[in-house]
Amino acid sequence: MEMYGRLKSGWLMGIMMLVLGITQFAYATTTTNLLITDLANSRVIEVDPITHNVIWQYGQTGVYGTGTNQLSNPYEAAILRNGNILIADGSNSRVIEVRPTGTSGGTIVWQYGQTGAIGSGPNQLNTPLDVKKLDNGNVLIADDQNSRVIEVQPTGTSGGTIVWQYSPIGNPIEAERLPDGSTLIARYGARQIIRVAGDPSVIVWSYTPEDSWGPYNMESYGHADVAPLTNGNILITGQYASHVIELQPTGTNGGTVVWKYGQTGVSGSGTSQLNFPYEAIRLVNGNTMIVDSGNQRVIEVKTSDYPGWTAASIVWQQGQTGVSGSGWNQLNFPRDIEEISRGIFNQVVVEYKDMAGMPQPIVTAWVFTPVVLPVVYPPVLQVTKTVSPSGTQTPGTELTYTIAYHNTGQGTATQVIFTDMVPPGTIYGTGTAVIATGPTGAITYSHNGSTYDSSDSAPVTHIRWSIPTIGPGESGTLRFSVKIK
Protein backbone atom coordinates (compact mmCIF):
# COMPACT_ATOMS: atom_id res chain seq x y z
CA MET A 1 0.00 0.00 0.00
CA GLU A 2 1.31 3.45 -0.92
CA MET A 3 0.96 4.94 2.54
CA TYR A 4 2.95 2.23 4.25
CA GLY A 5 5.59 2.58 1.56
CA ARG A 6 5.86 6.26 2.38
CA LEU A 7 6.11 5.59 6.10
CA LYS A 8 8.92 3.09 5.65
CA SER A 9 11.22 5.67 4.12
CA GLY A 10 13.38 8.32 5.78
CA TRP A 11 12.20 10.23 8.78
CA LEU A 12 8.59 9.08 8.33
CA MET A 13 9.66 5.70 9.69
CA GLY A 14 10.69 7.52 12.85
CA ILE A 15 7.30 9.15 13.11
CA MET A 16 5.72 5.71 13.09
CA MET A 17 7.73 4.67 16.13
CA LEU A 18 5.65 5.93 19.05
CA VAL A 19 2.61 7.95 19.95
CA LEU A 20 1.64 9.88 23.07
CA GLY A 21 -2.05 10.44 23.74
CA ILE A 22 -3.18 12.37 26.75
CA THR A 23 -6.86 12.89 27.03
CA GLN A 24 -9.51 15.52 26.83
CA PHE A 25 -13.16 15.06 27.77
CA ALA A 26 -15.93 14.55 25.29
CA TYR A 27 -19.66 14.10 25.24
CA ALA A 28 -21.08 10.60 24.72
CA THR A 29 -20.23 9.20 21.30
CA THR A 30 -23.85 8.46 20.46
CA THR A 31 -24.83 12.15 20.57
CA THR A 32 -21.84 14.07 19.27
CA ASN A 33 -20.04 14.09 15.95
CA LEU A 34 -16.38 13.15 15.71
CA LEU A 35 -13.55 14.79 13.79
CA ILE A 36 -11.16 12.16 12.39
CA THR A 37 -7.84 12.75 10.64
CA ASP A 38 -7.79 10.01 7.98
CA LEU A 39 -4.09 10.18 7.09
CA ALA A 40 -3.66 7.81 4.14
CA ASN A 41 -6.88 9.06 2.58
CA SER A 42 -5.44 12.61 2.72
CA ARG A 43 -8.54 13.98 4.37
CA VAL A 44 -10.09 15.28 7.57
CA ILE A 45 -13.67 14.09 8.06
CA GLU A 46 -16.57 14.82 10.39
CA VAL A 47 -18.46 11.62 11.16
CA ASP A 48 -21.95 11.04 12.53
CA PRO A 49 -21.33 8.23 15.07
CA ILE A 50 -24.90 6.94 14.79
CA THR A 51 -25.09 6.51 11.01
CA HIS A 52 -21.29 6.32 10.42
CA ASN A 53 -21.79 8.75 7.56
CA VAL A 54 -19.19 11.37 6.61
CA ILE A 55 -21.10 14.65 6.83
CA TRP A 56 -18.18 16.97 5.98
CA GLN A 57 -14.74 16.48 4.50
CA TYR A 58 -11.66 18.55 3.73
CA GLY A 59 -9.16 17.03 1.32
CA GLN A 60 -9.69 15.01 -1.84
CA THR A 61 -9.84 11.34 -0.93
CA GLY A 62 -6.58 9.60 -1.78
CA VAL A 63 -5.11 12.68 -3.51
CA TYR A 64 -1.94 14.19 -2.05
CA GLY A 65 -1.55 17.82 -3.10
CA THR A 66 -1.23 21.52 -2.33
CA GLY A 67 -4.13 22.85 -4.35
CA THR A 68 -7.66 23.83 -3.42
CA ASN A 69 -9.16 21.38 -0.93
CA GLN A 70 -6.01 19.24 -0.88
CA LEU A 71 -3.81 17.94 1.93
CA SER A 72 -0.62 15.91 2.15
CA ASN A 73 -0.31 13.67 5.22
CA PRO A 74 -2.59 15.56 7.64
CA TYR A 75 -1.58 14.58 11.16
CA GLU A 76 -3.87 16.59 13.42
CA ALA A 77 -7.17 18.44 13.22
CA ALA A 78 -8.94 20.49 15.88
CA ILE A 79 -12.33 22.16 15.99
CA LEU A 80 -12.26 25.85 17.02
CA ARG A 81 -14.90 27.86 18.87
CA ASN A 82 -15.80 29.74 15.68
CA GLY A 83 -16.55 26.46 13.89
CA ASN A 84 -13.36 26.51 11.82
CA ILE A 85 -10.98 23.54 11.62
CA LEU A 86 -7.27 23.84 12.41
CA ILE A 87 -5.15 21.28 10.52
CA ALA A 88 -1.49 20.27 10.78
CA ASP A 89 -0.79 19.52 7.10
CA GLY A 90 2.50 17.72 7.75
CA SER A 91 4.06 17.02 4.36
CA ASN A 92 2.97 20.42 3.07
CA SER A 93 4.89 21.97 6.00
CA ARG A 94 2.01 24.21 6.98
CA VAL A 95 -0.75 24.74 9.51
CA ILE A 96 -4.04 25.93 8.05
CA GLU A 97 -7.31 27.18 9.49
CA VAL A 98 -10.23 26.16 7.28
CA ARG A 99 -13.73 27.62 7.31
CA PRO A 100 -15.95 24.68 6.25
CA THR A 101 -18.44 25.07 3.41
CA GLY A 102 -21.27 22.68 2.65
CA THR A 103 -20.47 18.99 2.98
CA SER A 104 -17.01 19.16 1.41
CA GLY A 105 -14.13 21.59 1.33
CA GLY A 106 -13.78 25.07 2.71
CA THR A 107 -11.81 28.30 2.60
CA ILE A 108 -8.34 28.70 4.11
CA VAL A 109 -8.68 31.81 6.28
CA TRP A 110 -5.24 31.63 7.92
CA GLN A 111 -2.01 29.78 7.26
CA TYR A 112 1.37 29.49 8.96
CA GLY A 113 4.16 27.98 6.91
CA GLN A 114 4.88 28.32 3.21
CA THR A 115 3.11 25.52 1.33
CA GLY A 116 5.64 22.87 0.34
CA ALA A 117 8.61 25.04 1.42
CA ILE A 118 10.59 23.49 4.26
CA GLY A 119 12.46 25.86 6.58
CA SER A 120 12.92 27.28 10.05
CA GLY A 121 12.78 30.99 9.27
CA PRO A 122 9.84 33.41 9.67
CA ASN A 123 6.58 31.77 8.58
CA GLN A 124 8.32 28.46 7.90
CA LEU A 125 7.82 24.96 9.28
CA ASN A 126 9.30 21.52 8.72
CA THR A 127 6.69 18.77 9.12
CA PRO A 128 4.28 20.05 11.77
CA LEU A 129 2.67 17.10 13.54
CA ASP A 130 0.46 18.80 16.10
CA VAL A 131 -1.43 22.06 16.44
CA LYS A 132 -3.57 23.58 19.19
CA LYS A 133 -5.44 26.89 19.52
CA LEU A 134 -4.67 28.55 22.86
CA ASP A 135 -7.10 30.58 24.95
CA ASN A 136 -5.13 33.75 24.17
CA GLY A 137 -5.77 33.28 20.44
CA ASN A 138 -2.24 32.11 19.67
CA VAL A 139 -1.41 28.77 18.06
CA LEU A 140 0.86 26.10 19.59
CA ILE A 141 2.71 24.00 16.99
CA ALA A 142 4.91 20.91 17.35
CA ASP A 143 7.38 21.59 14.53
CA ASP A 144 8.83 18.09 14.32
CA GLN A 145 11.81 18.27 11.97
CA ASN A 146 12.84 21.67 13.32
CA SER A 147 12.99 20.05 16.79
CA ARG A 148 10.96 22.79 18.43
CA VAL A 149 7.59 23.71 19.89
CA ILE A 150 6.52 27.24 19.01
CA GLU A 151 3.69 29.55 20.02
CA VAL A 152 2.65 31.74 17.11
CA GLN A 153 0.65 34.96 17.35
CA PRO A 154 -1.30 35.02 14.05
CA THR A 155 -1.32 38.11 11.83
CA GLY A 156 -3.74 38.67 8.95
CA THR A 157 -4.53 35.72 6.73
CA SER A 158 -1.01 34.35 6.60
CA GLY A 159 1.94 34.12 8.96
CA GLY A 160 2.51 35.42 12.45
CA THR A 161 5.08 36.14 15.13
CA ILE A 162 6.77 33.49 17.29
CA VAL A 163 6.21 34.67 20.88
CA TRP A 164 7.47 31.54 22.67
CA GLN A 165 9.70 28.65 21.72
CA TYR A 166 11.15 25.55 23.34
CA SER A 167 14.05 23.90 21.49
CA PRO A 168 15.94 21.82 20.64
CA ILE A 169 13.91 18.95 22.02
CA GLY A 170 14.56 15.92 19.83
CA ASN A 171 11.59 15.92 17.45
CA PRO A 172 8.38 16.89 19.29
CA ILE A 173 5.26 14.99 18.33
CA GLU A 174 2.66 16.69 20.51
CA ALA A 175 2.37 19.75 22.73
CA GLU A 176 -0.37 21.30 24.83
CA ARG A 177 -0.46 24.32 27.12
CA LEU A 178 -1.72 23.40 30.60
CA PRO A 179 -3.89 25.64 32.81
CA ASP A 180 -0.92 26.55 35.03
CA GLY A 181 0.98 27.93 32.01
CA SER A 182 3.36 24.98 31.67
CA THR A 183 3.60 22.97 28.47
CA LEU A 184 3.34 19.20 28.09
CA ILE A 185 5.43 17.82 25.23
CA ALA A 186 5.87 14.37 23.72
CA ARG A 187 9.22 13.96 21.95
CA TYR A 188 10.23 10.84 20.13
CA GLY A 189 13.88 11.81 19.53
CA ALA A 190 14.58 11.71 23.28
CA ARG A 191 11.82 9.11 23.85
CA GLN A 192 10.23 11.12 26.63
CA ILE A 193 7.16 12.95 27.78
CA ILE A 194 8.16 16.20 29.47
CA ARG A 195 6.46 19.12 31.14
CA VAL A 196 8.30 22.42 30.87
CA ALA A 197 7.63 25.61 32.84
CA GLY A 198 9.17 28.98 33.67
CA ASP A 199 10.96 31.62 31.62
CA PRO A 200 13.21 30.36 30.18
CA SER A 201 11.34 27.05 30.31
CA VAL A 202 12.96 24.10 32.07
CA ILE A 203 11.86 20.49 32.49
CA VAL A 204 9.89 20.10 35.73
CA TRP A 205 8.66 16.53 35.10
CA SER A 206 9.54 13.74 32.68
CA TYR A 207 8.61 10.15 31.92
CA THR A 208 10.67 7.55 30.06
CA PRO A 209 9.25 4.00 30.28
CA GLU A 210 11.70 1.26 31.12
CA ASP A 211 9.55 -1.83 30.67
CA SER A 212 10.51 -4.80 28.54
CA TRP A 213 9.49 -2.93 25.41
CA GLY A 214 11.77 0.00 26.15
CA PRO A 215 11.38 3.70 25.53
CA TYR A 216 11.05 3.29 21.76
CA ASN A 217 7.60 1.85 22.33
CA MET A 218 6.30 4.71 24.41
CA GLU A 219 3.76 6.86 22.65
CA SER A 220 6.04 9.86 22.49
CA TYR A 221 7.50 8.44 19.25
CA GLY A 222 4.52 9.32 17.09
CA HIS A 223 1.29 11.28 17.07
CA ALA A 224 -0.64 12.22 20.23
CA ASP A 225 -2.88 14.64 22.03
CA VAL A 226 -1.20 15.98 25.12
CA ALA A 227 -3.65 16.91 27.88
CA PRO A 228 -4.09 15.75 31.46
CA LEU A 229 -7.04 13.79 32.82
CA THR A 230 -9.03 15.63 35.46
CA ASN A 231 -7.64 13.27 38.11
CA GLY A 232 -4.10 14.42 37.25
CA ASN A 233 -3.19 11.24 35.41
CA ILE A 234 -2.03 10.97 31.79
CA LEU A 235 -3.36 8.67 29.07
CA ILE A 236 -0.50 7.34 26.94
CA THR A 237 -0.78 5.32 23.74
CA GLY A 238 2.21 3.09 22.89
CA GLN A 239 2.29 2.46 19.16
CA TYR A 240 4.74 -0.43 19.00
CA ALA A 241 3.85 -1.57 22.51
CA SER A 242 0.30 -2.04 21.17
CA HIS A 243 -1.31 -0.71 24.31
CA VAL A 244 -2.87 2.35 25.93
CA ILE A 245 -1.95 3.09 29.54
CA GLU A 246 -3.11 5.58 32.15
CA LEU A 247 -0.13 6.91 34.08
CA GLN A 248 -0.25 8.48 37.52
CA PRO A 249 2.75 10.88 37.57
CA THR A 250 4.96 10.97 40.64
CA GLY A 251 7.54 13.56 41.73
CA THR A 252 9.65 15.05 38.98
CA ASN A 253 10.24 11.82 37.10
CA GLY A 254 8.16 8.77 36.23
CA GLY A 255 4.86 7.46 37.50
CA THR A 256 2.65 4.42 38.09
CA VAL A 257 0.49 2.64 35.50
CA VAL A 258 -3.06 2.43 36.93
CA TRP A 259 -4.99 1.30 33.81
CA LYS A 260 -4.24 -0.41 30.52
CA TYR A 261 -5.92 -1.55 27.31
CA GLY A 262 -4.11 -3.82 24.87
CA GLN A 263 -1.75 -6.76 25.22
CA THR A 264 1.69 -5.27 25.58
CA GLY A 265 3.89 -6.26 22.65
CA VAL A 266 1.15 -8.27 20.95
CA SER A 267 -0.46 -6.55 17.97
CA GLY A 268 -3.78 -7.89 16.77
CA SER A 269 -7.51 -7.30 16.42
CA GLY A 270 -8.85 -9.75 18.99
CA THR A 271 -10.17 -9.11 22.48
CA SER A 272 -8.14 -6.34 24.12
CA GLN A 273 -5.74 -6.14 21.18
CA LEU A 274 -4.51 -3.15 19.24
CA ASN A 275 -2.36 -2.65 16.14
CA PHE A 276 -0.39 0.59 15.87
CA PRO A 277 -2.64 2.66 18.16
CA TYR A 278 -2.00 6.38 17.67
CA GLU A 279 -4.41 8.26 19.90
CA ALA A 280 -6.58 7.82 22.99
CA ILE A 281 -9.06 10.13 24.69
CA ARG A 282 -11.20 9.57 27.78
CA LEU A 283 -14.86 10.36 27.16
CA VAL A 284 -17.14 12.00 29.69
CA ASN A 285 -19.15 8.78 29.92
CA GLY A 286 -16.01 7.19 31.38
CA ASN A 287 -15.16 5.14 28.31
CA THR A 288 -11.94 5.45 26.32
CA MET A 289 -11.77 6.23 22.59
CA ILE A 290 -8.73 4.77 20.79
CA VAL A 291 -7.43 5.42 17.28
CA ASP A 292 -6.34 1.89 16.33
CA SER A 293 -4.52 2.86 13.14
CA GLY A 294 -3.13 -0.50 12.01
CA ASN A 295 -6.58 -2.04 12.35
CA GLN A 296 -8.07 0.83 10.29
CA ARG A 297 -10.55 1.74 12.99
CA VAL A 298 -11.50 3.99 15.88
CA ILE A 299 -12.98 2.14 18.85
CA GLU A 300 -14.72 3.09 22.08
CA VAL A 301 -13.94 0.68 24.93
CA LYS A 302 -15.51 0.34 28.36
CA THR A 303 -12.85 1.62 30.73
CA SER A 304 -14.61 -0.02 33.68
CA ASP A 305 -14.06 -3.53 32.27
CA TYR A 306 -10.38 -3.38 33.21
CA PRO A 307 -8.62 -5.67 34.02
CA GLY A 308 -11.00 -8.50 33.06
CA TRP A 309 -11.68 -7.47 29.46
CA THR A 310 -14.52 -9.12 27.55
CA ALA A 311 -15.52 -9.03 23.92
CA ALA A 312 -18.30 -6.62 24.91
CA SER A 313 -15.70 -4.05 25.92
CA ILE A 314 -15.83 -2.47 22.44
CA VAL A 315 -19.13 -0.57 22.50
CA TRP A 316 -18.68 1.50 19.31
CA GLN A 317 -16.47 1.44 16.25
CA GLN A 318 -15.82 3.52 13.12
CA GLY A 319 -14.05 1.68 10.31
CA GLN A 320 -14.03 -1.96 9.31
CA THR A 321 -11.41 -3.92 11.23
CA GLY A 322 -8.39 -4.63 9.03
CA VAL A 323 -10.03 -3.17 5.91
CA SER A 324 -8.51 0.02 4.52
CA GLY A 325 -10.74 2.09 2.29
CA SER A 326 -12.64 5.32 1.74
CA GLY A 327 -16.18 4.05 1.41
CA TRP A 328 -18.99 3.97 3.95
CA ASN A 329 -17.63 3.28 7.45
CA GLN A 330 -14.08 2.87 6.15
CA LEU A 331 -10.79 4.52 7.10
CA ASN A 332 -7.23 4.35 5.85
CA PHE A 333 -4.66 4.73 8.60
CA PRO A 334 -6.55 7.13 10.93
CA ARG A 335 -4.24 9.29 13.06
CA ASP A 336 -6.28 11.63 15.26
CA ILE A 337 -9.75 12.05 16.70
CA GLU A 338 -11.56 14.87 18.44
CA GLU A 339 -15.09 15.39 19.67
CA ILE A 340 -17.11 18.14 18.04
CA SER A 341 -19.54 18.99 20.84
CA ARG A 342 -18.79 21.54 23.53
CA GLY A 343 -19.96 21.72 27.09
CA ILE A 344 -19.12 22.19 30.76
CA PHE A 345 -17.61 19.26 32.60
CA ASN A 346 -17.44 19.17 36.38
CA GLN A 347 -15.99 16.38 38.48
CA VAL A 348 -15.62 15.84 42.23
CA VAL A 349 -12.78 13.65 43.51
CA VAL A 350 -13.10 12.02 46.94
CA GLU A 351 -10.22 10.49 48.92
CA TYR A 352 -10.80 8.63 52.20
CA LYS A 353 -9.30 6.06 54.61
CA ASP A 354 -10.74 3.13 56.55
CA MET A 355 -10.78 2.75 60.35
CA ALA A 356 -7.19 1.52 60.28
CA GLY A 357 -6.07 4.63 58.45
CA MET A 358 -5.49 2.78 55.19
CA PRO A 359 -6.11 4.79 51.98
CA GLN A 360 -9.08 3.53 49.97
CA PRO A 361 -9.65 3.77 46.19
CA ILE A 362 -10.48 7.27 44.99
CA VAL A 363 -14.17 7.83 44.21
CA THR A 364 -15.30 10.29 41.55
CA ALA A 365 -18.64 11.70 40.40
CA TRP A 366 -19.21 13.93 37.42
CA VAL A 367 -21.81 15.86 35.45
CA PHE A 368 -21.66 17.19 31.90
CA THR A 369 -23.77 20.06 30.58
CA PRO A 370 -23.82 20.41 26.78
CA VAL A 371 -23.43 24.00 25.61
CA VAL A 372 -24.18 25.27 22.13
CA LEU A 373 -21.58 27.95 21.49
CA PRO A 374 -22.25 30.79 19.09
CA VAL A 375 -20.38 30.63 15.81
CA VAL A 376 -18.14 33.68 15.54
CA TYR A 377 -16.71 34.44 12.12
CA PRO A 378 -13.67 36.76 12.06
CA PRO A 379 -13.17 39.71 9.73
CA VAL A 380 -10.31 39.44 7.24
CA LEU A 381 -9.03 42.77 5.85
CA GLN A 382 -7.01 42.71 2.65
CA VAL A 383 -5.12 45.96 2.00
CA THR A 384 -3.20 47.20 -1.06
CA LYS A 385 -1.45 50.50 -1.76
CA THR A 386 -0.63 52.16 -5.10
CA VAL A 387 0.96 55.45 -6.24
CA SER A 388 0.25 57.56 -9.31
CA PRO A 389 2.23 58.38 -11.31
CA SER A 390 4.53 55.40 -10.79
CA GLY A 391 8.16 55.03 -11.76
CA THR A 392 10.99 57.59 -11.52
CA GLN A 393 9.82 61.18 -10.99
CA THR A 394 11.39 64.66 -10.72
CA PRO A 395 11.15 67.34 -7.99
CA GLY A 396 7.90 69.26 -8.08
CA THR A 397 5.85 66.24 -9.22
CA GLU A 398 2.65 65.53 -7.30
CA LEU A 399 2.20 61.91 -6.16
CA THR A 400 -1.20 60.53 -5.21
CA TYR A 401 -1.32 57.48 -2.90
CA THR A 402 -4.41 55.25 -2.85
CA ILE A 403 -5.05 52.70 -0.10
CA ALA A 404 -7.65 50.06 -1.05
CA TYR A 405 -9.15 47.60 1.41
CA HIS A 406 -11.65 44.75 1.30
CA ASN A 407 -13.15 42.72 4.15
CA THR A 408 -13.14 39.19 2.71
CA GLY A 409 -14.15 37.63 6.03
CA GLN A 410 -17.62 36.89 7.40
CA GLY A 411 -17.23 39.06 10.51
CA THR A 412 -17.35 42.83 11.02
CA ALA A 413 -14.08 44.67 11.65
CA THR A 414 -14.51 47.33 14.33
CA GLN A 415 -12.47 50.37 15.38
CA VAL A 416 -10.35 50.16 12.23
CA ILE A 417 -7.43 52.59 12.02
CA PHE A 418 -5.26 53.16 8.95
CA THR A 419 -2.09 55.18 9.58
CA ASP A 420 0.20 56.31 6.77
CA MET A 421 3.42 58.32 6.89
CA VAL A 422 4.14 61.26 4.61
CA PRO A 423 7.28 60.03 2.81
CA PRO A 424 10.58 61.82 3.60
CA GLY A 425 11.52 64.23 0.80
CA THR A 426 7.90 65.17 0.14
CA ILE A 427 5.39 67.78 1.37
CA TYR A 428 1.80 66.83 2.19
CA GLY A 429 -0.82 68.50 0.01
CA THR A 430 -3.19 70.28 2.38
CA GLY A 431 -6.77 69.02 2.05
CA THR A 432 -5.91 66.02 -0.11
CA ALA A 433 -6.47 63.31 2.53
CA VAL A 434 -9.93 61.85 1.92
CA ILE A 435 -12.07 58.76 2.36
CA ALA A 436 -12.74 58.34 -1.33
CA THR A 437 -15.12 55.36 -1.18
CA GLY A 438 -16.56 52.98 1.39
CA PRO A 439 -17.72 53.45 4.98
CA THR A 440 -17.39 56.91 6.50
CA GLY A 441 -15.00 57.85 9.27
CA ALA A 442 -12.71 60.55 10.65
CA ILE A 443 -9.32 61.84 9.51
CA THR A 444 -6.67 63.20 11.89
CA TYR A 445 -3.11 64.41 11.38
CA SER A 446 0.18 64.26 13.24
CA HIS A 447 2.89 66.90 13.09
CA ASN A 448 5.37 65.06 15.29
CA GLY A 449 4.71 61.37 14.63
CA SER A 450 3.03 60.70 17.98
CA THR A 451 0.02 62.96 18.67
CA TYR A 452 -2.92 63.57 16.34
CA ASP A 453 -5.44 66.39 15.85
CA SER A 454 -7.80 67.71 13.17
CA SER A 455 -5.38 70.32 11.75
CA ASP A 456 -3.86 69.41 8.37
CA SER A 457 -1.63 72.49 8.18
CA ALA A 458 2.06 71.93 7.35
CA PRO A 459 4.15 70.21 8.33
CA VAL A 460 2.13 66.95 8.38
CA THR A 461 4.16 63.81 9.17
CA HIS A 462 1.37 61.20 9.41
CA ILE A 463 -2.28 60.79 8.39
CA ARG A 464 -4.77 58.60 10.25
CA TRP A 465 -8.16 57.38 9.01
CA SER A 466 -10.47 55.98 11.73
CA ILE A 467 -13.43 53.91 10.49
CA PRO A 468 -15.89 52.58 13.09
CA THR A 469 -16.96 49.43 11.23
CA ILE A 470 -16.20 47.58 8.01
CA GLY A 471 -18.75 44.86 7.41
CA PRO A 472 -18.35 41.52 5.59
CA GLY A 473 -17.79 42.12 1.88
CA GLU A 474 -17.37 45.88 2.31
CA SER A 475 -14.51 47.67 0.58
CA GLY A 476 -13.23 51.20 0.25
CA THR A 477 -10.39 53.50 -0.73
CA LEU A 478 -8.41 56.17 1.11
CA ARG A 479 -6.35 58.79 -0.69
CA PHE A 480 -3.84 61.62 -0.15
CA SER A 481 -1.26 63.54 -2.22
CA VAL A 482 2.26 64.87 -1.68
CA LYS A 483 4.70 66.94 -3.74
CA ILE A 484 8.32 65.92 -4.24
CA LYS A 485 10.69 68.58 -2.85
Q: Is 92 a residue whose pLDDT tops 90?
A: yes
The residues, ordered by sequence, that sit 6+ positions from 132 with a Cβ below 8 Å of its Cβ are 78, 86, 139, 140, 175, 176, 177
**343-365 mean pLDDT:** 77
What confidence score (pLDDT) does residue 372 get? 58
Domains of the chain: 2-365 (2.120.10.30), 381-484 (2.60.40.2260)
**353-368 mean pLDDT:** 78
Evaluate if pTM is beyond 0.75: no
Confidence of residue 453 (pLDDT cuts 50, 70, 90): very high
Q: How far apart are CA 445 and CA 466, in angstroms?
A: 11
Residue-wise pLDDT for 65-81, tens only, equals 999 999 999 999 998 87
Percent of the chain, pLDDT > 70?
A: 84
Residue-wise pLDDT for 179-230, tens only, equals 788 998 887 756 678 899 988 899 999 887 654 343 333 333 333 445 567 7
What confidence score (pLDDT) does residue 307 get? 82
Q: Is 11 a residue whose pLDDT tops 90?
A: no
Q: What is the dihedral of CA 140, 247, 278, 220, to 10 degrees?
A: 60
In this structure, which amino acid lies at residue 392? Answer: T
Q: How far apart are CA 45 and CA 42, in angstroms?
A: 10
How many CA atoms are closer than 13 Å to the CA of 230, on its beta-carbon side?
A: 20
Confidence of residue 112 (pLDDT cuts 50, 70, 90): very high
Dihedral sign of CA atoms 5, 7, 13, 18 in order: negative
The residues, ordered by sequence, that sit 6+ positions from 7 with a Cβ below 8 Å of its Cβ are 13, 15, 16
Asked if residue 127 lies in contact with residue 11, where contact means CB atoms within 8 angstroms, the answer is: yes
What confidence score (pLDDT) does residue 1 get? 33
Q: Is 50 a residue whose pLDDT tops 70?
A: yes
Q: How far apart are CA 90 and CA 76, in angstroms?
A: 9
The conformation of residue 422, written as its DSSP 8-state character, comes to P
Confidence of residue 368 (pLDDT cuts 50, 70, 90): low
For residues 310 and 194, the model is more confident at 194
Percent of the chain, pLDDT > 90?
A: 52
Q: Name, of 10-19, 122-131, 208-217, 247-256, the range with top average pLDDT.
A: 122-131
**410-426 mean pLDDT:** 92
What confidence score (pLDDT) does residue 346 get? 67
What confidence score (pLDDT) does residue 342 get? 54
For residues 341 and 169, the model is more confident at 169
How many CA atoms are closer than 13 Å to the CA of 211, on its beta-carbon side?
A: 16
**454-482 mean pLDDT:** 94
For residues 261 and 180, the model is more confident at 261
At residue 91, the 3 state secondary structure works out as helix
What confidence score (pLDDT) does residue 444 get? 96
Weakest-pLDDT range from 233-242, 317-326, 372-381, 430-439: 372-381
State the chain's mean pLDDT as an integer. 84
What confidence score (pLDDT) does residue 373 get? 55
The residues, ordered by sequence, that sit 6+ positions from 4 with a Cβ below 8 Å of its Cβ are none
